[in-house]
Amino acid sequence: MGWALALHGGAGDIPRSLPTERREPRLATLRRCLDLGAAALRAGRPALDVVELVVRELEDCPHFNAGRGSVLTADGTVEMEAAVMEGATLRCGAVSGLSTVVNPVSLARLVMEKTPHIYLAFHGAEAFAREQGVETKDPSHFITEDNIERLRQAKEANRVQIDYTQPMKGQSPQETKAPVDDNSQTGTVGCVAIDAAGNLATATSTGGLVNKMPGRIGDTPLVGAGTYANAICAVSATGRGEEIIRHTVARDVAALMEHCGLPLRDAAARVVAGTPRGTTGLVAVSGAGEVCMAHNTTGMFRACATEDGYAEVGIWTDEADGNGASVSVRL
């Protein structure tokens, strides 16, 4: 067993026609974050520090749906959420409804370490952030031109929009798939890791859905849904939050390994296959140092590395070696 990590930048109906200028900045950020996390693990840093470090970097990138790049609610505001969890202790922390905190993942860790609670939201979470002295910015800092345009399009189509989709006009208000010319896409971020001492950890961060109702909470901060770690594995999920919540995706991977004896890859594939097609992706690592990146969407921005030298960065599963870490389910 050695160290390993995996990270994602969101799953969804990612068209192969995604323009280079939209695709490459995301892949470059994933490579940079992978190198950053791998270097930290090689240096002996704990898994919890590493997943926070990597997700902070992803939150600072406006190309992903977290932190700086968070998508907008129906009111044109940002409501960010994040969670962290440590496998050996089951300690966890989560936040929702943030509008000023630069790195929600770090506030989630402070909830875990500095309070008797697991989850703080909205005004209470913002007040806690001020109390702890974390970096904050005016809400306008998080509102990008791309996301203003995405909200306009979603409102015009009367749609709520998940990661890597674009609304189509004249249809009923529900989540929609993307046309192949979509060029304004963004995704939830997450990271899982096991360190050299065998400690597992996970972190996930998101801005939620485009044109979501104010106050909506997704799977990311819900322990066992979008984020989960124990002594067996660590999981970070991405996709349609309501489905991930219904299917308790992250916890179910661990449960299949614990109670049915399935290896990580089989457990992840079974859980993802049990959700509606086009709704779910995840990255996971096991206590044995195995890595898996599974999805039933067209693609998932993802990357992984292990101590034995394996590395993978990609979007669509057929880019990877069939014996690699990626699993495309029911496509």
Query: Tokens 């907008």 belong to which residue?
Result: 72
Q: Would you say 94 and 108 are in contact if contact means Cβ atoms under 8 Å apart?
A: yes
H-assigned helices in 133-199: 145-157
- Among residues 84, 103, 85, 97, the alpha carbon closest in space to that of 125 is found at 97
Sign of CA dihedral 258, 312, 244, 221: positive
Single-letter amino acid, residue 16:
R
- Among residues 255, 317, 259, the alpha carbon closest in space to that of 292 is found at 317
Find all residues with CB under 8 Å of 175, minimum gap 6, and list them: 159, 160, 161, 162, 165, 209, 240
Catalytic residue among 188, 206, 248, 298: 188
Task: Give the 3-state secondary structure of residue 231.
Answer: coil
Query: Residue 188 catalytic?
Result: yes
Neighbours of 66 (CB within 10 A): 33
Cα 43 to chain centroid, rounded: 25
Length of the chain measured in residues:
331
For residue 201, the cross-strand partners are: 86, 193
Q: Alpha-carbon Rg of the chain, whole angstroms? A: 18
The catalytic residue positions are 188
